[in-house]
């Protein structure tokens, strides 16, 4: 029988809607439910369900209309039944006809529920589920034309479900990878911190130095607007900046007095040695070996190991250099007590432009000022400096003056004078 024009329009409209629906990557359940309604509405069916096989090959209902959802849970497919169904390659099976051992086994239960036709969902030669249909409103039998419509629509629905499941798996794996990556980063950070502690143990006078340099560097970088990833990277660089000291004679590092020129030359090898150690490691952050190598360089070119000047020095190394010097000035050493804060600020002012980068010093001063004025609740610098160190009333004034002074020196004309 030739289908009427109206029926063709109705069916094509439904197929077009179904194509759009299965391509919708949003709510999975809603996609299946809508697709099922499109199929039911195309043939005017009063009952239907879309069910997919669980990994244990039990049928699980994804969408249901006019049927008991629990009905499907009793149907399990056996391996040989699955092979038989795949071999038949039929678009749909009339329950009354049986035609396969699976349907024959469940024929009575299916008929009792008013399910008249079952279409297997086969995707890439795998049986992924069934679409169960029944109750044609017209009371007519399913026609050959209905079978073709069901074949086309069920194929669409099967591919839609398969695609959604694949997307879910990809998203799940991406999430697992993200967690794994976070775990690895945490392990890396913990390992680096443990390593930093090991470096500092070699120097009995500067224990905790590497940890503090890492934290000062992180605070400065954040104040300078670096991204979180970059901030993490420079914190690691701070932790590891003195790793080269591992190859320096312990007696030189722990000398309880000023060391001589030869010993100084030996000690000054530690940035380059650190670079050699760190360059062999594949860090998750950029430029860590260079930050360690150049943390004793100066803007005026009188630093070591390479005597670089200003723009030749990576900004990260300039930050670590300031953090390193600040911690050296504010902690006790074997041959001197730590310097007062006023004295430290005076040193920073004198050496900014020759040793320290003015933008870096200004960022550090701003971060500390925020802590002492209470603008930020974070008081990590104050805590690292220890109780009583910053109790003078003039600390905010010293910092404000330093910042004002540096803002003048940060101008390009002043920069040229630093060389």
Partner 1 sequence: MDSLIGATVRSHCVGTTAVVYASDYLNKLTGEKIERECRRQLDSGCRALVIDFGDTQLVNSIGISILLGIINVAEKNGAQVVFSDVNNQTVELFDMLGLTRHVALARNEQEALSNISGLDPTPTLH
Query: Of 24 and 400, which CB lies nearer to partner 1 in the complex structure?
Result: 24
The residue from 1, 2, 4, 280 that contacts partner 1 (CB under 8 A) is: 4
Query: How many other β-carbons are positioned within 10 Å of the β-carbon of residue 320?
Result: 32
The answer to whether 307 contacts partner 1 (rule: CB under 8 A) is no
Query: Of 116 and 287, which CB lies nearer to partner 1 in the complex structure?
Result: 116
Asked if 274 and 241 count as a contact pair (C-beta separation under 8 A), the reply is yes
Query: Of 46 and 99, which CB lies nearer to partner 1 in the complex structure?
Result: 46
Query: What is the closest distance, in whole angstroms, from the C-beta atom of residue 18 to partner 1 in the complex?
Result: 8
The answer to whether 26 contacts partner 1 (rule: CB under 8 A) is no
Residues present in the chain in total: 419
Alpha-carbon gap, residue 206 to 196, rounded angstroms? 11
The residue from 55, 56, 70, 138 that contacts partner 1 (CB under 8 A) is: 138
The answer to whether 155 contacts partner 1 (rule: CB under 8 A) is no
Query: Of 137 and 171, which CB lies nearer to partner 1 in the complex structure?
Result: 137
In the window 65-124, what residues touch partner 1 (CB under 8 A)?
65-66
Taking contact as CB under 8 A, which single stretch among the options 30-38, 85-93, 276-284, 360-368 is the one that binds partner 1?
30-38
What is the b/e burial string over 9-18, where b = at least 16 CB atoms within 10 angstroms of the residue's CB? ebbeebbebb
Alpha-carbon gap, residue 200 to 203, rounded angstroms? 5
**Exposed / middle / buried, residue 406 (Cβ in 10 Å: 0-12, 13-18, 19+):** buried
Query: What is the closest distance, in whole angstroms, from the C-beta atom of residue 14 to partner 1 in the complex?
Result: 4
Query: What is the closest distance, in whole angstroms, from the C-beta atom of residue 36 to partner 1 in the complex?
Result: 8
- DSSP 8-state assignment for residue 352: B
Taking contact as CB under 8 A, which single stretch among the options 36-44, 209-217, 239-247, 249-257 is the one that binds partner 1?
36-44
The residue from 41, 98, 284, 301 that contacts partner 1 (CB under 8 A) is: 41
The residue from 22, 31, 32, 45 that contacts partner 1 (CB under 8 A) is: 45
Query: Of 66 and 284, which CB lies nearer to partner 1 in the complex structure?
Result: 66
Number of residues this chain uses to bind partner 1 (CB under 8 A): 25
Taking contact as CB under 8 A, which single stretch among the options 43-51, 102-110, 223-231, 407-415 is the one that binds partner 1?
43-51
The residue from 27, 69, 104, 140 that contacts partner 1 (CB under 8 A) is: 140
β partners of residue 136: 45
Residues 6+ apart with CB under 8 A from 212: 323, 327, 331, 384
In the numeric block, the tokens 């699980």 are attached to: 60
The answer to whether 346 contacts partner 1 (rule: CB under 8 A) is no
Alpha-carbon gap, residue 172 to 84, rounded angstroms? 33
The residue from 23, 44, 198, 404 that contacts partner 1 (CB under 8 A) is: 44
Residues 6+ apart with CB under 8 A from 229: 285
Query: What is the closest distance, in whole angstroms, from the C-beta atom of residue 75 to partner 1 in the complex?
Result: 23
| Number of Cα atoms under 13 Å in the Cβ half of residue 300 | 9
Residue ranges in 224-374 assigned as alpha helix (H):
228-240, 250-253, 261-267, 270-279, 288-293, 315-329, 341-351, 358-373
Alpha-carbon gap, residue 298 to 310, rounded angstroms? 7
Query: What is the closest distance, in whole angstroms, from the C-beta atom of residue 24 to partner 1 in the complex?
Result: 12
- DSSP 8-state assignment for residue 377: S
Binding residues for partner 1 (CB under 8 A): 4, 6-7, 10, 13-14, 17, 34, 37-46, 65-66, 136-140
């Amino acid at each position: 029988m030739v289908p009427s024009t109206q029926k063709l329009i109705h069916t094509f409209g439904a197929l077009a809607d179904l194509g759009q629906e299965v391509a919708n990557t949003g709510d999975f359940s809603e996609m299946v439910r809508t697709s099922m309604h499109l199929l039911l509405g195309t043939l005017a069916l009063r009952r239907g369900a879309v069910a997919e096989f669980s990994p244990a090959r039990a049928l699980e209902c994804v969408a249901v209309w006019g049927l008991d959802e629990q009905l499907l849970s009793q149907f399990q497919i056996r391996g040989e039944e699955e092979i038989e169904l795949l071999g038949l390659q039929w678009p749909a099976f009339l329950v009354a006809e049986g035609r396969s051992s699976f349907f024959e086994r469940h024929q009575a239960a299916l008929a009792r529920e008013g399910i008249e036709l079952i279409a297997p969902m086969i995707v890439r030669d795998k049986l992924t589920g069934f679409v169960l249909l029944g109750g044609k409103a017209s009371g007519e039998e399913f026609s050959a034309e209905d079978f073709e419509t069901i074949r086309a629509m069920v194929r669409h629905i099967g591919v839609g479900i398969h695609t959604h499941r694949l997307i879910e798996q990809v998203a799940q794996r991406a999430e697992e990878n993200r967690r794994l990556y976070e775990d690895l980063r945490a392990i890396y950070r913990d390992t680096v911190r443990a390593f930093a502690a090991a470096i500092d143990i070699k120097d009995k006078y500067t224990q905790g130095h590497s940890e503090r340099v890492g934290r000062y560097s992180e605070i400065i970088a954040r104040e300078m607007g670096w991204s979180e990833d970059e901030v993490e990277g420079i914190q690691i660089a701070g932790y590891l900046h003195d790793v080269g000291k591992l190859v320096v004679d312990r007696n030189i590092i722990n000398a309880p007095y000023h060391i001589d020129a030869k010993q100084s030359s030996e000690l000054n090898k530690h940035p380059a040695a650190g670079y050699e150690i760190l360059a062999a490691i594949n860090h998750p952050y950029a430029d860590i070996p260079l930050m360690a190598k150049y943390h004793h360089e100066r803007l005026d070119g009188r630093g070591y190991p390479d005597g670089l000047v200003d723009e030749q020095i990576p900004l990260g190394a300039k930050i670590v250099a300031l953090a390193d010097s600040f911690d050296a000035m504010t902690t006790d050493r074997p041959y001197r007590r730590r310097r007062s804060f006023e004295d430290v600020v005076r040193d920073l002012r004198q050496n900014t432009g020759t040793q320290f980068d003015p933008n870096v010093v200004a960022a550090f001063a701003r971060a500390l000022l925020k802590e002492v004025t209470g603008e930020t609740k974070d008081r990590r610098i104050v805590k690292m400096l220890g109780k009583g160190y910053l109790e003078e009333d003039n600390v905010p004034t010293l910092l404000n003056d330093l910042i004002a002074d540096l803002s003048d020196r940060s101008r390009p004309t002043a920069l040229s004078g630093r060389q």
